[in-house]
Copies of this chain bind each other. A is one copy, B any other.
Amino acid sequence: MPERGVAGGAPARFTIRAIAQRAGTSVSTVSRVLNHRPDVSAEMRARVLDVIAEADYTVNDAARALTTRRTMMLGLLIGRLSSSYSGQLLRGVCGAAEEHGYNVVLYTMGDQPAQEERSIRALLHGQIDGLLLVLPGGMGSAIAQLRARQRPFVIIDHREAEPWGPSVGCTDRAGADEGTRYLLGLGHRAIAAITGPADWQVSQERLAGYRDALAEAGMELDDRLVREGSFGQRSGFTATRALLAAVPELTAIFAFNDTMAIGAMDALKDAGLRVPRHVSVLGFGDFPEAAATHPTLTTVRQPTLEIGRHAVGLLMRQINNVPGGHEPVDLPTSLVQRESCGLPPATAPHRVAAGAPGHL
């Protein structure tokens, strides 16, 4: 419940008029100084600046927004805030926004559906100048509304069905392809995949890339080797256990994000297997913790920070009516080789020799 009008808001402050009077000039001149306009004499500028400093004056952004029709605020609508992914994205978005003189308003979706309404309303109300949407999938109606209203928006890590709108993602499919080929190149043949939620577009793309690589090597996708995860660590753990039980001969696991890869390594170690000696683990994302695990995680780098930056750039183009920037963009992924992938063990299945089954 909004508590509007409950009591007085901000304390009274100086206005541009007061500054003008004290400086013995007009409000427009003060405004010019405030906005760094060139057409003010040096001495006048200095005088005004002096008065401003002395009075400890600050402009009223609400008034400015009312006349300029710009709030200098961007919105960012995002779901699961807890993940490492979101942290990176936030950093990219905030950093880039700042460079454009913009601030970022955060809208979290929580668990409720249709929570995106708040952010869209804000955009429509002119509280923000543009909106960045991080959507796992669906949500077409919200997009349609924004499009109909012609308000600036950019979708992150998701591409709508045609007609395409402005979006920024990465080469998920090619990245998964490259990762899988890397594993194949090392000599692995039984490569398991722990996917993300099936209805997320990125999961589908990465699975397609995985399949591409197998096909290229003349192999088919083996259903026993594919498990659906939730992008959470626990799901990587349990999927790996199931995989180990069902397909003892596997020598590599490709987790479709780093968090699940960490869970997978946990499960492997727990089963008495060493990474990468017995089983190689490949992640996707290159989250900050990928470099902190032990062994460090080899992973397909998702340029999350750059995606955030790029999305802001596109949004700024729309806000400033610069042509272009309305088409989907995919930033390149890259393979980051660390310690968690190696040659497959000479003899398989090695599980038998390794012993130490853990408390399965």
Given the known A-B contacts A95-B110, A126-B62, are A5 and B101 also in contact in the complex, defined by CB atoms under 8 Å? no
Q: Are B105 and A7 in contact (CB under 8 A)?
A: no
Q: Are B95 and A87 in contact (CB under 8 A)?
A: no
Once A68-B5, A87-B86, A106-B106 are accepted as A-B contacts, the answer to whether A10 and B126 lie under 8 Å apart by CB is yes
Bound: A145/B170 CA distance, A: 43
Q: In A92-142, which residues have CB < 8 Å from any B CB? A: 94-95, 98-108, 110, 118, 121-122, 124-127, 129
Chain B residues whose C-beta falls within 8 Å of the C-beta of A321 in the assembled complex: 6-8
Q: Which residues of B contact A118 (CB under 8 A)?
A: 98, 103
CB distance from A70 to the nearest CB of B (A): 5
Q: How far is the CA of A81 from the CA of B86 in the complex (A)?
A: 9
Given A61-B127, A321-B8, do A105 and B3 touch, yes or no (CB 8 Å)? Answer: no
Chain B nearest CB: distance from A33 CB in Å?
A: 14
Contact among B9, B69, B105, B316 with A10 in the assembled complex (CB-CB below 8 Å): B69
Q: How far is the CB of A128 from chain B (nearest CB, A)?
A: 9
CA distance A108 to B96 in the complex (A): 11
CA distance A122 to B72 in the complex (A): 11
* Distance of A22 Cα from B76 Cα, bound (Å): 35
Q: Is A160 an interface residue (CB 8 A)?
A: no
Interface residues on A, range: 35 or more
Closest to A152 in B: B10
Contact across chains for A292 and B232 when beta carbons are under 8 A apart: yes
Interface string of A1-24 (1 = CB under 8 A from B): 111111111110100000000000
A204: CB under 8 A from chain B? no
Q: Nearest residue in B to A288 (C-beta to C-beta)?
A: B82
Closest Cβ of chain B to A181, distance in Å, is: 29
Select from chain B the residue with minimum beta-carbon distance to A233.
B292
Contact (A292, B81) CB under 8 Å given A10-B151, A101-B3, A126-B61:
no
Stretch at the interface among A40-48, A265-273, A324-332: A265-273
Q: How far is the CA of A60 from the CA of B59 in the complex (A)?
A: 19
Bound complex: CA of A73 vs CA of B103, how far in Å? Answer: 12
Q: Is A270 a contact partner of B288 (Cβ separation < 8 A)?
A: no
Q: How far is the CA of A158 from the CA of B44 in the complex (A)?
A: 44
Complex alpha-carbon distance, A8 and B318, angstroms: 11
A10 to B66, CA, bound (A): 11
* From B66, B90, B126, B237, contact of A292 by CB (8 A): B237
Given A82-B84, A233-B293, does the pair A9, B69 have CB atoms closer than 8 Å?
Answer: yes
- Interface contacts beyond A263-B294, A266-B294: sample of 8 additional A-B pairs, CB < 8 Å, sorted by A: A3-B100, A8-B69, A58-B124, A60-B66, A62-B66, A91-B108, A233-B293, A267-B294
